[in-house]
Amino acid sequence: MISRRDALKSLGFIGCSAAASPLVTTMSFAQAPWENRLAVILLRGAMDGMSALPPIGDPGLSVLRPNLSQNAGAPLSGLFGLHPSLEPLRPLWAAGELSFAPAVSTPYRDGRSHFDGQDVLEAGTAGVLSGQRGGWLNRLLDAVPGLSGDTAFAVGREKPLILSGPFPSRSWSPETRLDLSPQARLLLEIMYADDPLFHAASGDAIEIAQSLGLSEEVDSFGEMASLSRTAQMNQRRASGAKTIAGFAAQRLREDARIAAFSLDGWDTHRNQGQALPNALDRLSTAVLTLRDDLGPIWNQTTVLVMTEFGRTAAENGTKGTDHGTGGAMLMAGGALKAAQFFGKWPGLAEADLYQRRDLLPTDDVRRYSAWVMRGLFGFDKTLLETVAFPGLDMGADPLILA
């Protein structure tokens, strides 16, 4: 029997796996009796933290990345710069509403699989084979009495793990394009023939997309007939990021207190200098849309941006980077205490790298998430260390929030 995950991997979408480029962005919401807000943005495909936040003060950068370091961006500090495509966020830094945690990761190591890395990120556990079920946000909310929630998931992708579990959920998805070959559509129909809910939902989604002109003709080789495929895709993704973040802000202005959604397009094995700027543009757009659309509520909001793992410290032969370990985490919002860099920079000398190939992670992305959840909503530390993030030692408070 073929699994859904294996079938999705075989559909042939851009990136090295379906996990790096899902059909439709995932979005989730949860309601709670708090005034503070949290938005979690998952970057699927493994963002290159060393390009988003280039360590321009480390002499190893130009050695490891002779091409990718040429346009590293203007400095934020003596050690770190800011990628040019993230420059729209610089005013947030000046206002004390943007922070970074470089050299972080989940406990996931060595497998370098998008699917497994995302599972660990969203489950909040210490490993792929952990006995814990569901996502860390779901487990956390389910442990607090009297809450309600609703969740949206994407056609062509499993229910988002971060809010999967016993906590109640409903579905919603933004308008999107479905670029499926006839073979892929047939595979979906066959694969979900015995799943009435998904079979009906996927069929309806494809028919609606066609009726609205949201589905392009695809040739027998799986390539869009249009010669401007890349430009069209980038335009759609940019528009989608704004739409998704705008909808999230709308819900956060109303009853929702926690929103989680994903942005794809971060798997940059080749020509990273061309592909990554578009992805970072979308991230800038999403964060600024949240700020603008939330209005005064922005002052009570924290945005956590995280990815499944980082990328190799050295660029590869195709001017890209491969799956690595240590990455970077971005935090934004008016609830932040100040513009800061968190954690310890490990250095880029060969002896300092993880397995002599990756940025060495010096902190756990779950630790920062836990402290933000505690600061925003007052969750008990024991609850965070045992239910949300089993086995986590939160350590000392990094003082992220005001």
CATH number of residue 133's parent domain:
3.40.720
Q: Give the pLDDT band (50/70/90) at residue 157.
A: very low
The mean of the pLDDT values for the chain is: 81
> How high is the pLDDT of residue 282?
96
Residue 98 lies in a domain: yes
> How high is the pLDDT of residue 3?
45
Residue 187 lies in a domain: no
Helix axes 196-211, 182-191, angle to 10 degrees: 150
Residue 371 lies in a domain: yes
Q: What domain range includes position 57?
A: 22-149+237-388
Q: Is the pLDDT of residue 239 over 50?
A: yes
Residue 349 lies in a domain: yes
Whole-model pTM above 0.75?
yes
CA angle (121 as vertex; 115, 124 as ends), nearest 5? 130
Residue 355 lies in a domain: yes
Residues of the chain with pLDDT > 70, as a percent, come to 71
What DSSP state is assigned to residue 17?
A: S
- Please count the other Cβ atoms lying within 10 Å of the Cβ belonging to residue 172: 13
What DSSP state is assigned to residue 336?
A: B
Residue 12 lies in a domain: no
Q: Is the pLDDT of residue 62 over 70?
A: yes
Q: Which residue has the tokens 């998952």?
A: 42
Alpha carbons 108 and 129: distance in angstroms, whole number: 11
> Cα 181 vs. chain centroid, distance in angstroms?
26
**pLDDT, mean of residues 116-129:** 83
Residue 294 lies in a domain: yes
Alpha carbons 232 and 275: distance in angstroms, whole number: 14
Residue 228 corresponds to which tokens in the numbers above?
Answer: 């401007």
Name the pairing type of β-strands 81-82 and 74-75: antiparallel
**pLDDT, mean of residues 256-283:** 93
Per residue in 189-219, pLDDT (tens digit) is: 555 555 555 555 555 444 444 443 434 444 4
**pLDDT, mean of residues 158-164:** 67
Give the count of domains, the chain.
Answer: 1
Comparison of pLDDT for 366 and 22, the residue scoring more: 366
Residue 54 lies in a domain: yes
In one-letter notation, the amino acid at residue 173 is S
